[in-house]
Amino acid sequence: MSSLRAIVEALRFCNTSVNIDDLHPIVRFLVASRICVIFMTIYAVSIGGLAALINGVFDIVTFSIIMILFILLHMADNLLNDLSDYGKRIDVEGYPRLQYAPHPVIHGILSVKTIKIYVVATLMASIIYAVYLGVVRTPLIPILALIGGFVMLGYSGIALDLKRSGLGELGVFIVWGLVMAGGTYTALTGAPPVREALVYMPYGLTVSLVLIGKHLDKYEMDVLKGVYTLPVRLGYGRTLLLARYISIAAPILAAIGISLYTGSPLSIFALSSLPMSYVVYKSYVSGMPSKRPEGWRIWPLWFAAWSYLSLDAVGRYTVLTLISVVTPYPYNFIAALLVILMLYSDIRKAREYISKYLS
């Protein structure tokens, strides 16, 4: 039961109240690799798969393998970034990364050797499958894989330091949009993901917003350490303004994009993410509190946590909207009912969040 509790808590808060030493090694690995952000990848791959299904092409085996590989790569990316920041003495006592979730190396969960073996093995498996798809489907797949690998290694400061060049936010937009969603579509159809950008670009913006929020949360420490993320380069005030625009624009662009892509009036369902997006907008207007609010589990993260609400809402409703479009009448009413129930729940949660934290 302790392992199940740890996984549930780690999915919600990125940390757990269970003693990490008492957990099964696999559970320890999942907590250390920050499975709290796993849905970020699940939504992206699902969007690409549904775009292919709308075009009448789908292969459950290929889709499943892609989903598994991207999830494993996402966890590898998290571990590699932690390992890189640990080696560069960025992740040290007092830095936000060590406060909101256990650090795989510093807290003794995983050894440096274990992380390197996992990262190399995951990258090799992905390369092999990308080459295979390049041969049997389209040469575009290895090209997209190279782009994704370049960003993954670059964000961790290998070869080109994207994060400290202020390009990390652009990098995740490309990876979770073009590479993951677009790459899944291409792997299934063999066609370039050009028009599909209408569907995956708005979601990619929300992934960038999460990283913008995370870097805002660490703004003062990053300035002191010379980590020149996008917020550090733009300035705190300008970044807050940019984040407000993205939080409101993403749901609207998602609805417009799905409408242009499918021509279906059901694309209006994508606007159901607006209540949560407004909460996120409100958080960037209200600003970060001076001390940890009561019951807040992932302090000192603040903007990143709210931004993830936007990502989750846009991701959920984009996927549900695409499902409703591709599902034949009258069964698409099930998806419509699910949207209505989720929207009702989200409106209640939005009111609660604003009342408790943002009023």
Quick: pLDDT tens for 319-342: 999 999 999 888 888 888 999 999
Phi-psi label, residue 294: left if phi above 0, alpha if psi -120 to 50, beta otherwise:
beta
Report the pLDDT value the prediction gives residue 159, as an integer from 0 to 100. Answer: 66
The answer to whether residue 111 scores a pLDDT higher than 90 is no
Separation between Cα atoms, residue 74 and residue 60, nearest integer Å = 21
Closest to 188 (Cα-Cα) out of 341, 62, 7: 62
Average of pLDDT values for 66-92? 83
Report the pLDDT value the prediction gives residue 97, as an integer from 0 to 100. Answer: 67
Report the pLDDT value the prediction gives residue 359, as an integer from 0 to 100. Answer: 80
Number of domains forming the structure of the chain: 1
For the stretch 229-269, pLDDT in tens is: 999 999 999 999 999 999 999 999 999 999 999 999 999 99
Confidence of residue 136 (pLDDT cuts 50, 70, 90): very high
The answer to whether residue 92 scores a pLDDT higher than 70 is no
Residue 25 lies in a domain: no
262: Cα separation from own chain's centroid:
25
Confidence of residue 94 (pLDDT cuts 50, 70, 90): low
Residue 108 lies in a domain: yes
Q: What percent of the chain has pLDDT over 90?
A: 64
**Number of other residues whose CB lies within 10 A of the CB of residue 163:** 25
b/e 95-119 (16+ beta carbons within 10 angstroms → b): bbbbebbbbbbeeebbeeebbeebb
- Which strand (E) or helix (H) includes residue 42? helix 38-54
Residue 351 lies in a domain: yes
Residue 5 lies in a domain: no
What domain range includes position 94?
Answer: 33-358
Separation between Cα atoms, residue 91 and residue 98, nearest integer Å = 7
Separation between Cα atoms, residue 351 and residue 359, nearest integer Å = 10
Residue 4 lies in a domain: no
Q: What is the mean pLDDT of the chain?
A: 90
Residue 216 lies in a domain: yes
Residue 14 lies in a domain: no
Separation between Cα atoms, residue 229 and residue 220, nearest integer Å = 11
Residue 27 lies in a domain: no
